[in-house]
Structure 1
Amino acid sequence: MSIAIRDVREHELDSVLALNNAAGPAILPLDAARLRHLFDRAEYFRVAERDGAMAGFLIGFGAQAQHDSSNFAWFGAHHPDFFYIDRVAVASRRRGGGVGRALYADAQSYAELRYPQLACEVFLQQGNDHALLFHGSFGFREVGQHVMAGHDIRAAMLMKGLCSYAWVRDTYGDALPDEPWLQQPRQVAQPARPTGTCA
């Protein structure tokens, strides 16, 4: 049973909302207005399908986005350029089946052509060791901690260097080849970025 990753469709936002709000304390709940706000502004908003049903989703923003997340602002204050994974959720019946890894692999494939680092956070609360282990096994390392304004939740701030970025920038600049697999998932203007290095 394969996992298919594709752009979210507007009519699926109710399903995304239900999936988000069923994910438990590892992710902040949303209402329909907030999800619509994310849909309208996210650079990357993709879903995973398995057996024809939505199995998960991932939302991401580039460092230059106008995004009002306090965690995103923390990364912006400490790092000049990154791709931020705002939220990811996997349906409970699909956890442990590779859906999360497929979403992260797709997000990394997108980001490494455009950004020097991936950024995300994991809430530091009892029972969330599996999330820290997952991110550690995917190459993320803690670069600080942040208490989220309005939520009083401490988060581990994680980053992962994307070693392909410097070569892609040096070779192609801002003009990636016109290949379908290189196309941006969503039509959002990309600001020019300085060349980065792999940490």
Structure 2
Amino acid sequence: MGTKSVGLRRLHSATAAGLGMVAGVIAAVAAQRSALDAINRRLERLEEQAVHQQRANLAMQQRQHWELLSKAIDDPELAEVLDYFEEPVSAQKRRQYLFANAQYTNLLCYYRIGNIPLDEFFMHARGMFQNPHMRDYWEATRPQRASLRGTEEAKLGEMIDDLLAQLDEADTDEWWVVGTPPTET
């Protein structure tokens, strides 16, 4: 019996040690899981902050863009610096183009920072390009847009080009129904 008793004690000791080791491993895994969850929450907060910072940067850039355009619109000598059109334009036409650029850039910024979805961008553009000065500006800046290949802005420009072609081909005066607003993908 003495041997059985020693064997049982050893078995109990081994079992207790094994259970203690398993409990230690479970505690360590739980602690690691808790640490990983905390790290993941921190990463999510940092990603949200990065998105907010990017939107703030875009808004600041838009403000600076408007300030520069305003100076050029108000001062014909400064506007000459922004005259990068292939055909010479009058000072009045240049000012109109600068303002058209400000309008389009504002719409683009609204979309980029998430204030409006893509279908709303499309609908605003559809209305905006009913104005002949906006269409003149769009045509005059075609060479500049060609350099944007592969960018989000190039894709939006192509969407507007398609819309303008549809508007030109439409046999209706109801321009607000021409074209199908795209959906976000």
For the criterion TM > 0.5, the same-fold answer is no
Structure label with greater radius of gyration: 2
TM range (shorter): under 0.3
TM-score, structure 1 normalization: 0.26
Greater fraction helix: 2
TM-score, structure 2 normalization: 0.27
